[in-house]
Amino acid sequence: SAGPRSRALFERAKAVIPGGVNSPVRAYRAVGGTPLFLAKGEGAHFEDADGRRYLDFVCSWGPLILGHAHPEVLAAVAAAAGSGMTFGAPCAGEIDLAEAVVARYPGLEQVRFVSSGTEATMSAIRLARGATGRDLIVKFAGCYHGHADHLLVSAGSGLVTFGRPSSAGVPAPFAELTRVLPLDDEAALDALFAAEGSRIATVIVEPVPANNGLLLQRLEFLRHLRALTARAGALLIFDEVISGFRVARGGAAELYGITPDLATFGKILGGGMPVGAFGGRRELMRHLAPEGDVYQAGTLSGNPVAMAAGIATLGILERERAWEELEELGGYLEQALAPAFAAAPFPVQLVRQGSLFWMSLQAGAPPRRADAIASGAAALYKAIFHGLLARGIALAPSAYEVGFLSLAHRPEHLDQLAKALGEVFAELAGERG
């Protein structure tokens, strides 16, 4: 449980910040208890405000692929900040990072920087609508694309459904232009395109859905999606905010050999700073102002400090052959956890793609769609989460968020996680017995 300093800080925060947090999942509502307030990070560990040290598998929800406070990234940020935090004007760093992104990602010719993943997806959808002259957008239940109004919609009971707001403050007419489909269902996709294909501007998907569990998709489904959108004249957007520069050098597009029309990025791209980006072919990107009539802007977009962090991070990943190393680390994690999982008093299996991992707390094949996740998973995860936290290991405070490996993690850290999980499972077995 949180120490006295974290508890005192949370009380102060609740007075001046809604719910005491600046992003909802941080409040520990899903797992109970008081959130840890963090004070310092180094490598694969962080310290909370009470000076307690934890092995970190949250990695700031994905950006810290090099671990906390990588000295080269810190040096790059300090040097850039020393010359000025922001200019609201062009700087050389923007070109350097844009060239690095374009060189890495399949089919990308131009990219524009923003300050968050939400901004990136919001802007990519506006661009898709502007470029196609169509209004409808399609998303999948269980894929999260940030908190723009038209994306905060959830599926109803039918296979093909009109979007319904899943947040107060989103007018129904906004959501009515969004269609929501289940993942892993070609028939539902075909039915929607048969009915409304000529009105669909874009389909946005996380090619590696990692915001509602790790719902790994069949390659055939993603290929079908690519073919269907191309035939209908709709644009395919890959939301690679989590998967970009993590599951492969060129993200899921490289991993699966599928080139989307537009892609969105964040997290790793900023190296720990707030950075997002969206990009695609030049013929699409020319619709953006000042060349075209799709407006998008941002005072802090492309600021030199954030660009420096991103350039340093991508450079280190390249130099360290990061994706090979992270795949090896992920393989080691599978082996390390296998004995604990086999002895667990309930079904549990590891779902993994490279350095992304998630515990599926149910029998049978791991789920590929949101409505296939067992309803009892959250209560079980709550006990696992607190059992690990008591042993100095931090996973995300939600059963539906994924875990992250970084280059700072070593095999002994994964052994530590396996040992702790074994102990927690044994405790839970005793309680059940």
Considering 105, 267, 381, 400, which one is annotated as catalytic? 267
Question: Which of 329, 375, 382 lies closest to 352, judged by CA?
Answer: 329
Q: What is the pLDDT of residue 150?
A: 74
Query: What percentage of the chain exceeds 90 in pLDDT?
Result: 89
* More confident position, 107 or 174: 107
pTM of the model: 0.96
Cα–Cα distance for residue pair 217/366, rounded to 1 Å: 11
Q: Which of 74-78, 94-98, 157-161, 319-323 is least confident?
A: 157-161
Q: What is the pLDDT of residue 432?
A: 67
Considering 54, 105, 144, 381, which one is annotated as catalytic? 144
Is the pLDDT reported for residue 329 higher than 60? yes
Q: What is the pLDDT of residue 165?
A: 72
Is the pLDDT reported for residue 221 higher than 70? yes
Q: Which of 154-158, 258-262, 358-362, 391-395 is least confident?
A: 154-158
Confidence of residue 276 (pLDDT cuts 50, 70, 90): very high
Identify whether 135 is a catalytic site residue: no
Q: ω before 367 within 30° of 0 (cis)?
A: no
Considering 184, 239, 261, 400, which one is annotated as catalytic? 239
Q: What is the pLDDT of residue 173?
A: 80
pLDDT digits (tens, 9 = 90+) for 80-109: 999 999 999 999 999 999 999 999 999 999
Identify whether 382 is a catalytic site residue: no
Query: What percentage of the chain exceeds 70 in pLDDT?
Result: 97
Is the pLDDT reported for residue 215 higher than 90? yes
Q: What is the pLDDT of residue 154?
A: 61
Mean of per-residue pLDDT scores for the chain: 94
pLDDT digits (tens, 9 = 90+) for 28-47: 999 999 999 999 999 999 99
Identify whether 419 is a catalytic site residue: no
pLDDT digits (tens, 9 = 90+) for 114-155: 999 999 999 999 999 999 999 999 999 989 888 777 777 763
Local structure of residue 101 (DSSP, 8 states): H
Is the pLDDT reported for residue 161 higher than 60? no
pLDDT digits (tens, 9 = 90+) for 239-259: 999 999 999 999 999 999 999
